[in-house]
């Protein structure tokens, strides 16, 4: 029987040392301010599943940045779930990051997902040599030197799209961990062998922190193809065939996504994964059903 840990004062790295699977959910901030109330209600519904923590993706510019920080604090204080705020650095100066860290500390946020971030679509970005933070490892090192936040960093079982090779990508991950990353959350994937091969290679390279698989239940075939084209993840042929057959039936796609993710998570946990990080896409149904099935079978 898997015990899902509830919100408490335990630091996240300590959760991974308890020997029980750690379950977490990722949310993204709604774009429309009027949708925040409904979003927080969805988070409250998933609180019933007793996640160990949730993460909130980061709106890097202007009002989106402020709203992300504010909403992370509200999830932490009003909903009562340990909240990990994403922080990207590609457009930030050290002074800006320092200000953000101060605000997050005041809101009771103790952990972050430290990321370089994608190139903004609404404007140019200075070359890496001219930025305060050229890479995610620079952000990790800056935060660790300044504050006592716990940090998650990103890993890519199938290689980051910009990496020159899997070996170079793994070196980048090792640098982030060496700089102070406390645990790794992987990009989404659908073939568990890719994850376990990634973990094996990471351990051989000296990376010893927990490597948590990131799982996205499929809720739409067109959306899946768009996401995988952006992040470089592959869709297994058998999965693509099943989804193509039902792509015009939204309910059938969701049902298949639940079935596939449940079996994927069960196999990951049976083979020693330290937990599951669900990319919820702000939807409660699939994640709720998957965890319910896991509880019945494990």
Tens digit of each residue's pLDDT (9 = 90 or more) over 114-154: 999 987 776 677 888 889 999 999 999 999 999 989 999 99
pLDDT band at 225 (very low <50, low <70, confident <90, very high): very high
For residue 119, how far is the Cα from the chain centroid? Answer: 18
pLDDT digits (tens, 9 = 90+) for 195-214: 999 999 999 999 999 999 99
Number of domains in the chain: 1
Residue range(s) defining the domain that contains residue 130? 12-297
Please give the pLDDT value at position 60: 62
Task: Answer yes or no: is pLDDT of 87 > 70.
Answer: yes
Residue 246 has pLDDT above 70, yes or no: yes
Averaged pLDDT, 60-71: 80
CATH of the domain at 52: 3.20.20.220
Position 5 pLDDT exceeds 60: no
Please state, rounded to an integer, the average pLDDT across all residues of the chain.
91
pTM metric for this prediction: 0.93
Residue 39 belongs to some domain of the structure? yes
Residue 197 located in a structural domain: yes
Query: Percent of the chain beyond pLDDT 90?
Result: 79
Which has the closest alpha carbon to 217: 250, 255, 187, 261?
A: 261
Nearest to 233 by CA among 189, 194, 274: 189
Calculate the alpha carbon distances from 112 to 101, 104, 162, 244 in Å.
10, 9, 23, 37
Span 187-193, average pLDDT: 98
Res. 221: pLDDT tops 90: yes
pLDDT (average), residues 8-34: 88
Confidence band of 297 (pLDDT split at 50, 70, 90)? confident
Residue 140 forms part of a structural domain? yes
Q: Tell me what pLDDT residue 298 has.
A: 65
Could you tell me if residue 3 is inside a domain? no
The pLDDT confidence band at residue 48, using thresholds 50, 70 and 90, is: confident
Q: What is the pLDDT of residue 62?
A: 57
Is 173 inside a domain boundary? yes
**Per-residue pLDDT, 292:** 84
Residues 284-296 have a mean pLDDT of 89
Please indicate, yes or no, if residue 64 is contained in any of the structural domains. Answer: yes
Flag whether 78 is in a domain. Answer: yes
Catalytic residues: 26
pLDDT of residue 126: 81
Does pLDDT of 7 surpass 70? no
Higher pLDDT, 34 or 103: 103
What percent of the chain is predicted at pLDDT more than 70? 94
pLDDT-derived band at 9, boundaries 50, 70, 90: low
pLDDT in tens, 279-288: 999 988 999 9
> Could you tell me if residue 137 is inside a domain?
yes
Identify the pLDDT of residue 123: 65
């Amino acid at each position: 029987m898997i015990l899902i840990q509830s919100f408490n004062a335990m630091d996240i790295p300590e959760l991974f040392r308890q020997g029980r699977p750690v379950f977490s959910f990722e949310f993204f901030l709604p774009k429309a301010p009027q949708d925040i109330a409904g979003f927080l209600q969805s988070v409250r519904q998933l609180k019933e599943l007793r996640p160990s923590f949730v993460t909130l993706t980061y709106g890097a510019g202007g009002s989106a940045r402020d709203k992300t920080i504010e909403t992370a604090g509200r999830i932490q204080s009003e909903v009562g779930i340990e909240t990990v705020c994403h922080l990207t650095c590609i457009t930030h100066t050290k002074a800006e990051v320092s200000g953000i860290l101060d605000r997050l500390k005041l809101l009771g946020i103790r952990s972050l997902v430290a990321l370089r971030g994608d190139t903004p679509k609404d404007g140019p970005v200075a070359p890496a040599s001219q930025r305060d933070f050229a890479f995610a490892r620079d952000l990790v090192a800056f935060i660790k030197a300044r504050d006592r936040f716990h940090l998650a960093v990103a890993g890519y079982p199938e290689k980051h799209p910009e990496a020159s090779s899997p070996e170079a990508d793994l070196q980048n991950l090792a640098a982030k961990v060496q700089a102070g990353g406390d645990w790794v959350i992987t990009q989404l994937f659908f073939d568990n062998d890719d994850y376990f091969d990634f973990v094996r290679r990471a351990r051989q390279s000296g990376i010893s922190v927990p490597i948590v698989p990131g799982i996205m239940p499929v809720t739409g075939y067109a959306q899946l193809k768009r996401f995988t084209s952006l992040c470089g993840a592959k869709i297994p042929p058998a999965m693509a065939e099943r989804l193509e057959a039902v792509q015009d039936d939204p309910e059938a796609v969701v049902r298949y996504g639940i079935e596939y993710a449940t079996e994927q998570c069960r196999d990951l946990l049976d083979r020693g994964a330290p937990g599951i990080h669900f990319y919820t896409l702000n939807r409660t149904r699939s994640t709720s059903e998957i965890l319910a099935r896991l509880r019945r079978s494990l």
